[in-house]
Amino acid sequence: MAANSSTGSATEPPGLETQWREIDNLNQQQLRAGDSWYLLDKRWYDQWKEYVHTGDQNSSSYPGKIDNTELYEDLDSYHLKERLTENEDFILVPAEAWHKLLSWYDMMDDQPPLERKVVDLPSTVKVEVYPVEVYLCLSSNLESTVSARFSRADKIHAIHQKIRQHFNVSETAESRLWMRSTDTSSERLRNLNMTVLDTCLSSGMTVIMEIRNADGTWPTSRPQIMRNSADEDSYQGPPGVCGLTNLGNTCFMNSALQCLSNTPPLTEYFLKNSYLEELNFTNPLGMKGEIAEAYADVIKQMWSGRHYSVVPRVFKTKVGHFASQFLGYQQHDSQELLSFLLDGLHEDLNRVKKKEYIELRDADGRPDQEVAEEAWHNHLRRNDSVIVDTFHGLFKSTLVCPECNKVSVTFDPFCYLSVPLPVSKERVMEVFYVSLDPTAKPTQYRLIVPKAGRVIDLCAALSQATGIPPNQMAVADVFNHRFYRIYQTDEFLSCILDRDDIFVYTVFIKPGSFISNYLTIFNSYGTSLFGHPLLMSMPRAQCTREALYQLLLKRLAPSSEGEERAEEEESSSEPDRGSSTEEGQSACGSTDTNSQDATDGDQSAGAEPSGKEEEDEEEPASCAQANKRLPGRRHYTERRKKALFTMQAVNSNGTTERGMGEADGTQPYIAIDWDPDMKKKYYNENEAEKYIKHQSMDVPHQQTTVQLQECIELFTTVETLEEENPWYCPTCKKHQLATKILDLWSLPEVLIIHLKRFSYTKYSREKLDTIVEFPLRDLDFSGFLLKKTVNSTEPPCRYDLIAVSNHYGGLRDGHYTSYARNKDNGQWYYFDDSKVTYAREEQITSAAYLLFYQRQDKIRHPTIPPPIPSSTQPENHVSSQTCDGMDGAASCVSMETD
């Protein structure tokens, strides 16, 4: 007999034997992850088995409607009782068996079916009897929660949709989820495609939905904007016209971000939330989507029109986390940051979830069109993202072996063009010339020298200006009151940086030979050095302590009032330090035991004479040689006077502890140690620092001016590979310094051109200040593209400028800013960290470092008229200082860990 239920009549069941056979066969199914199985009360199922086995449809063992009452904790919530046991309290039947039994016998009124999922656990596949029960709420009201049950096989996306439905959250509202296990810690649920099991979400936890504010910030990490005038929340400005706070030497990052922010296709991609569906959390080459999300947050805030300036602190932290070179707050290269960011965004948004291995093929004489299409197709099989869509183009690379003439042709993708600047063969150097005239101050000269020249070329250029023979010059780098380095005449000028303080000294030498040895003099006061050091030479026959002392007095004449006043000072009854005494100490002597080397005859720091020593031969002097000519104890017959300073042999750093290998007689070092009272009375430090500017310093330095097209031509010029980067020739079976030429095959929608202003070699680093003139409109690449237009459907080759990253200053003290054209109103703006001002096209000048061009057919004409600057509007309309802070942190319980 069939039973009726309040919800409708059950279908007529088949015969009892057929019922048993069908259900028993279905129960033999294997468990498969994701399938549904149902719980049945064990007593009802046993009674049904007894009923069908009797073979009598009128038997008293008829089970009636399916009744799971004994499995529920109560009939109000219909929660399953805890700790139920399979085959004792319930049995599990597959979905098809359940639906057959339900159609034959119906179910007790209002009882919900106990459907459960099969989950694939790390060690087994099983039916999940007890699903995960979590609490759901919004971050704006943590007290209002609702409980919901989810299978461990369910994706987080199901929880996301459940919260939206229950709390009536709009589908267009951007949101993110947090998983909170305690009252003090929360964790982002970033990947909505992960399962509940994979995220370790367990019963009793709370899932919180956070909805992005209208100003682009998140309630849990909203920066506080400090302004003296209007409240930040009331500000309404043009979207995208927003500064970026300098967090400490982060102008390089701000400049790159402003340029990317004003790249229309990329910014619209993020503003339309297209990135949410393409976040790649499993890419081993990516950053688990974190760089893309952090960048999206910055863009959302900048284009909300609600901020004068944004604090990119979270973004900076994320960058440093994934690229340790950007940790801390040192200055960096804007192009290096841009390169990392484009690569990071690409991998975080790569639509290819599993990259396949692709074996690359050489052209082997095939047509370029065929090889190029194959290369681009292979590239897209592994790399497919908004970055590829927007910024990637294709090179043709041709290598020719110099030995066997093997030609290798490949097509390679690129993300930006790094073009060289024409390099001048000459270089401007500024030096300080120190003559032998003790009354003359150092003179600063500006010289033109060969860029690849040597130190002797610098001396030759200075010789033309001074008339002093080059072989009577010694060139030194002075740093921190000592000689950082004394250059040999055959050293390359590339080892001298523009920022170095270069001093050129005139010294006496033997006619017809170059200087090899000379005396180095330091000014010292106790343990500290001061003033500029001196290089001196004097005839060996005249090298006595007294003569050296007198010579030094003359050399110090421009900065000292000399010994004339000192002679008026009577020495006390006790011998002062540095005075001539009956003990035989001369003006060069010292009671310091560290100066013993200066009084030990031939074993001193002085230069040893080579060959036969002649009285009139001019050789480097030393105190040691002076001591050879002085008796051990000598009494002055003149009136005793107090010396201004004493002298002692030191090492090349000007300290009394001599270094190993410095007593070889090749270069002595002497410190003149000033008596404190004498220094105060007779030495004028300000006077000692003064110098004269030669008229060559008044000649303005003419910067080289080149056209951008010249730089692109250089980029496509044949070059020979460097020894550090040879090419392996498959024919010769060895590495070769092949010739290489790069040709442009296809160009992207947005073309980034990197002007290689910074030159890094093994010996030097320098910045090229060459002025590069570039067009703001109609940059035509048709003459540079190897691939010629085949039909009218192909995009044109003309580009308009949309953004520029600028670099001002030198290598160590540079500053980055940017110009950019707003995609909505077409107005140009100048971005200098948090400061933003209107800009005219003629202001976009020679400091350009990175150029952003967009293809003309993709440029959208402004739909919003640009604002008209007025005299009442402050020029720096985005110049407020900002600071990080938490708004609503009290109600969002440590979610700021993102």
* pLDDT for the residue numbered 885: 30
pLDDT at 253 over 80: yes
**pLDDT category of residue 579 using cuts at 50, 70 and 90:** very low
Domain end marker among 211, 243, 276? 211
Distance CA 146, CA 208 (A): 11
Kindly name the residue from 137, 242, 251, 797 that is annotated as catalytic: 251
Q: Is there a domain that residue 445 lies in? A: no
- The pLDDT value given to residue 350: 96
Residue 520 reports pLDDT greater than 80: no
Both 116 and 176 in a single domain?
A: no
Q: In whole angstroms, what is the distance from residue 267 CA to residue 413 CA?
A: 23
Q: Which of 82-86, 305-309, 706-710, 715-719 has the lowest mean pLDDT?
A: 715-719
By three-state DSSP, how is residue 103 classified? helix
Q: Residues 842, 744: one domain?
A: yes
Using the predicted structure, report yes or no on whether residue 890 has a pLDDT greater than 70.
no
Residue 802 lies in a domain: yes
State mean pLDDT over 120-127: 85
In a domain, residue 494? The reply is no
If asked whether residues 25 and 112 sit together in one domain, one would say yes
The model scores a pTM over 0.75:
no
Q: How far apart are CA 520 and CA 774, in angstroms?
A: 51
Per-residue pLDDT band at 161 (split at 50, 70, 90) = very high
For 397, the domain range is 393-403+705-858
Q: In this model, does residue 102 exceed pLDDT 80?
A: yes
Return the pLDDT at 656: 67
> Token pair of 758, please?
């910074």
Q: Is the pLDDT of residue 745 over 80?
A: yes
Report the pLDDT value the prediction gives residue 801, as an integer from 0 to 100: 96
Give me the CATH number covering residue 713: 3.90.70.10
H/E run at residue 290: helix 290-302
The CA-atom distances, in angstroms, between 25 and each of 22, 621, 799 are 5, 112, 70
Q: What share of the chain is helix, strand, coil (3-state, %, to 5)?
A: 25, 25, 50
Q: Is residue 537 assigned to a domain? A: no
Tens of pLDDT, residues 537-577? 766 666 677 877 887 777 776 675 544 444 444 444 344 43
Lowest mean pLDDT among 454-458, 547-551, 740-744: 547-551
pLDDT at 19 over 50: yes
Model confidence at 320, pLDDT cuts 50, 70, 90, reads: very high
Q: What gap in Å lies between CA 874 and CA 227, rounded to an integer?
A: 14
Alpha-carbon separation of residue 418 from 719, 757, 850 (angstroms): 15, 10, 9
Check whether 634 has a pLDDT greater than 70: no
Place 615 in a pLDDT band, splitting at 50, 70 and 90.
very low
User: Mean pLDDT over all residues of the chain?
Assistant: 80
For residue 365, what pLDDT band results from cuts at 50, 70 and 90?
A: confident
Give 119's strand partners: 126
User: So what's the pLDDT on residue 228?
Assistant: 38
624 — pLDDT class (breaks 50, 70, 90):
very low
pLDDT at 863: 66
Is residue 382 very low, low, confident or very high in pLDDT (cuts 50, 70, 90)?
very high
Query: What does the pLDDT look like over 179-208, one tens digit per residue?
Result: 988 767 888 899 999 989 888 898 889 999
Query: Model confidence over 234-245: pLDDT tens digits?
Result: 678 899 999 999
Residue 628 has pLDDT above 50, yes or no: no
Tell whether the model's pLDDT for residue 114 goes beyond 80: yes
Confidence of residue 10 (pLDDT cuts 50, 70, 90): low
Q: How far apart are CA 844 and CA 196, in angstroms?
A: 53
Q: Which residue has the higher pLDDT, 69 or 526?
A: 69
Structure confidence at residue 483 (pLDDT): 79
Residue in 166, 321, 481, 815 annotated catalytic: 815
Mean pLDDT of 586-608: 34
Beta carbons within 8 Å of 393's beta carbon, 6+ residues apart: 413, 414, 744, 745, 746, 747, 748, 751
Based on the domain organization, do 816 and 727 belong to the same domain? yes
Q: Looking at residue 157, which CATH number applies to its domain?
A: 3.10.20.90
Q: Exposed, middle or buried by CB within 10 Å (0-12, 13-18, 19+), for 725?
A: exposed
- What's residue 496's pLDDT? 87
CA 129: distance to chain centroid? 51
What are the CB-based long-range contacts (under 8 Å, 24+) for 2-9?
2/104, 2/105, 3/64, 3/65, 3/105, 3/106, 4/106, 5/65, 5/106, 5/107, 5/108, 5/109, 6/109, 7/106, 7/107, 7/109, 8/106, 9/106
**Span 751-766, average pLDDT:** 79
Percent of the chain past pLDDT 90, that is, above it, reads 43
**pLDDT score of 445 more than 50:** yes
Residue 828, pLDDT > 80, answer yes
12-26, 101-115, 176-190, 286-300: range with lowest mean pLDDT: 176-190
**819 and 714 within one domain:** yes
pLDDT at 622 over 60: no
Q: Do residues 106 and 175 both lie within one domain?
A: no
Radius of gyration of the chain (CA): 42
Give the neighbor-by-neighbor strand order of the sheet with 115-120.
Answer: 90-94, 36-41, 115-120, 125-127
Average pLDDT over residues 728-757: 92
Domain annotation covers residue 817:
yes
In a domain, 24, yes or no: yes
Give per-residue burial for 335-351: e unless 16+ CB within 10 Å, then b: bebbbbbbbbbbbbbbe
Residue 113 maps to which CATH number? 3.30.2230.10
Is the separation of the CB atoms in 851 and 804 below 8 Å?
yes
Predicted confidence at residue 311, as pLDDT, reads 92
Residues 710 and 853 in one domain: yes
Q: Using the predicted structure, report yes or no on whether residue 473 has a pLDDT greater than 80.
A: yes
Identify whether 815 is a catalytic site residue: yes
Do 151 and 60 belong to one domain? no
Residue 586 in domain: no
Has residue 92 been placed in a domain? Answer: yes
- 618's CB contacts (< 8 A; 6+ apart) are 508, 509, 510, 537, 538, 539, 540
Residue 374 clears pLDDT 90, i.e. is over it: yes
| Residue 735 appears among annotated catalytic residues | no
- Overall domain count for the chain: 3
Taken in order 590, 591, 596, 600, is the CA torsion positive or negative?
A: positive
| Residues facing residue 147 across a β-bridge | 135
What pLDDT score does 122 carry? 76
- Same-domain pairing of 722 and 849: yes
Q: Please provide the DSSP assignment of 533-579 as one string.
A: EEEE---GGG--HHHHHHHHHHHTGGGB--HHHHTTSBP-SSPPTTS
End-of-domain residue from the set 189, 211, 233? 211
Say what the pLDDT of residue 58 is.
81
The band of 94, judged by pLDDT with boundaries at 50, 70 and 90, is very high
Residues 825 and 728 in one domain: yes
**713 and 824 inside one domain:** yes
Residue at which a domain ends, from 69, 89, 121: 121
Q: What per-residue confidence (pLDDT) applies to 669?
A: 77
SS3 string, 830-885, reads: EEECCEEEECCHHHCCCCEEEEEEEEHHHCCCCCCCCCCCCCCCCCCCCCCCEECC
Of 100-114, 175-189, 754-768, 838-852, the one with minimum mean pLDDT is: 754-768
Q: Does one domain contain both 30 and 166?
A: no
